[in-house]
Structures are given as C-alpha cells and as structure tokens.
Amino acid sequence: MKIATVVGARPQFVKMGPLSRLFKKKFQEIVIHTGQHYDDNLSKVFFKELNLFKPKYNLGIKAASDISQISLMISALEKVFIKERPDLVLTYGDTNSSLACALTSSKLNLSLAHVEAGVRAFDRNVPEENNRFIIDRFSTLLFCPTKSAVRNLKNEGIKNGVFYTGDVMAEVLRENLEQKLSSSGKVLEECLTGGSSRIGTVHGGYILVTLHRQENVAAPRGRENLKEIVNALMGFKGRLIFPMHPRTRKNLKRFKLWQKLISRDSITILEPQGYLNFLGLEKNADKILTDSGGVQKEAHLLRVPCITLRKTTEWPETLENGWNRLVPCKRDAILSALKSSLRPGLHKNIFGSRKASEKIFKIITSWLRKR
C-alpha cells in the first residue's frame, strides 16, 4: 500500500514525524515537500532535528502570492499523484500546501486523510479558516485533535469518517521535552543559547515574540498593524527575544521600522530557530507574544501565558482560565498585556493523550484493509 504525504510548512514538519515512523513499518510513504517554506531555518533544519525521512519530491514552489502559489502546487502535485497513484493522500493542518493537496486529490478521485480536521476560528476573513473549511469537505478520513473539533464538523453536517484522536503536535512536543530537554538542563541550555552569544544562558526574565501572519506584517493592513506592534515593543522596558520570520524582517525594512526596532538593546532579534531551540525559548519564557496558531498551542502545552495578536483563534480552548488572551494590534492594548502581572488559573489537558499518531495509524490501517 502506498501513502502520499504532502507537507510544506514548519508546523507540518513538526507534526509528521511520529506517523511517518509508524508508516515505515507497514506502508510505502512518499513524502512530497511543496517548498512553501523554503528557508533552511524554516524547513531543512526540522527534517534534521526531528529525524524525518527525506522527501522523495521537493516541488520548490516559491510563488509571491497565495493564488499563484496554490495554482503552481496543484499543477505539480497532479503530475506526482498521476505518477505514483497512491492508495491514500494525507496532509496536515491548514496551509496553502494542504489546500492544494485537497483540491488535487479530489480532482483525481484520490482519498484524502486530514490530520487536524475540524479546527475552526469562526472568522472567514482569515485565509487559513477558508482552507480548513474546504479541506475538510474533500476529506475521507478526518482526524480531530480536540473534542470541539469533532463538534464543529458535526455542526457542519460532517459525521462520516470523523475520529477524535488527540493532537500529534502535542505528542511531538511531549516526546521532545522528555527525550531532548533533560532534567540536567545541558541540552536545554544549548537550546536557549542557540549558538548565539547574543542570547546567553536564559532562564526566564524575558518575553518571547513571534510574528508572521500576513494581516500583521504585510501591506496594506499589515503595515499599520506592524507599526502598532513595533511601537508597543519599543514602549516595553523588559527583555524581548524575537526569532524573526523572513517575511517580517523584509517588511520591517520595507516599512522603515527596522532601524527603530534594532535600536533597543533590550530587544534581541534572532534568525528563525530550529524546533529544539525554539522549544527551549518557549519553555523558559515568562510570556509569549505571537500571532501563530501553533505557538498558541505549544504555549498552552508548556504552561506559558500567551498573548495572541488576533481577533479570533482556532484554539478557543486555550483561552480558558486566562492561559491565552486575544489582543488587538493597538499599541496601548499590546503594551498593557505585556506589562500585566495577571496569572492564569486552572490548567486543563485539552489536546488528548500521548498516542495520537498510533490512533491515526490504526484507523488508516483498518481503512486500507477494507478498500
């Protein structure tokens, strides 16, 4: 039996490891990397650190706009799928790569499995929300990370092929916390230093910042949002560590905000970090300021308070008891959240057991046997 796994972005590389290792025991897995994240710090380093299998295909698609990127992915995936004729196509999450995979597999009448199905922010202005909605409608097997994701699909009339499995990203994080970030702290210290003397040995006393979403960093609306965010960071007197996405760096320079940001000694700007380095930075932060869906989830799993620069979140469960807060992109609101001394309340396990990948593997194995 042959399974084609389509990935293209950092969160997908993180999620794929446990399931790929299980597939290797029983199936032929063909990994297809669309090239959506082509920077080595957002792509290659994750395959190395997480011991992922090298993709058989790297499509190298680096288009400027979403529409051109998706159309090029569809054209390239069509050729690969026709050549390989997989028994099942699998993808993760809500990226452009996932959407292109869903559209292509549907047109070729190939069955699709979607890991992280049913996740909703209930905001159709968010590009990823539309991706999720479409992908789930083309999926034969829908693997839900939370119970609310199952309810979301049921409310949309999708019941067949829906399974509550828990979250594979949570599984990877727990696995690496145990195996890589040992109690001795030696590996953890390496994660925090990241090979850069600018960070030094950091154990708390800082806020971690990540920023990459189009509506916060790219024109037209992102220009104003980015200006508000930078003004808030400049007004904060505490220490900030900011691993910077290439698009964010590019637009900070384009909008003439770069020099202002780097003028502050209390703001440490880094290149994008590998998975283990970033996990270490997350784990030891006092708070995390982000617009990333995956980072919200990781912050909750690590029990680190999170400030999310968005109007809605696909992980509403993280808002319970104050572990995550939605804050508008306004200087005063961001600054108030950064300075807040409020501590979250009761912490709940919302992402299921440690064995999400095993549940998914068993379901896929059973489904393929019955074909």
The three-state secondary structure class of 139 is: coil
Report the chain's C-alpha Rg in angstroms: 20
**Enclosing H/E stretch for 32:** strand 28-33
Gap between the Cα atoms of 342 and 345, Å rounded:
9
The Cα–Cα gap between 7 and 57 comes to: 11
Identify whether the C-beta of residue 2 lies closer than 8 Å to the C-beta of residue 85. yes
Q: Which amino acid would we find at residue 160? A: N
Annotated catalytic residue 212: yes
What's 222's DSSP letter?
Answer: H
DSSP per position, 65-114: SHHHHHHHHHHHHHHHHHHH--SEEEEETTSHHHHHHHHHHHHTT--EEE
**Catalytic: which of 212, 245, 300, 347?**
212
Q: Which tokens sit at 103?
A: 């559209």
Q: Is the peptide bond before 145 cis (omega within 30 degrees of 0)?
A: no
DSSP per position, 247-309? HHHHHHHHTT-HHHHHT-TTEEEEPPPPHHHHHHHHHT-SEEEE--HHHHHHHHHHT--EEE-
CB 5 within 8 A of CB 90: yes
* Whole-angstrom distance, CA of residue 116 vs CA of residue 341: 33
Task: Please list the active-site residues.
Answer: 212
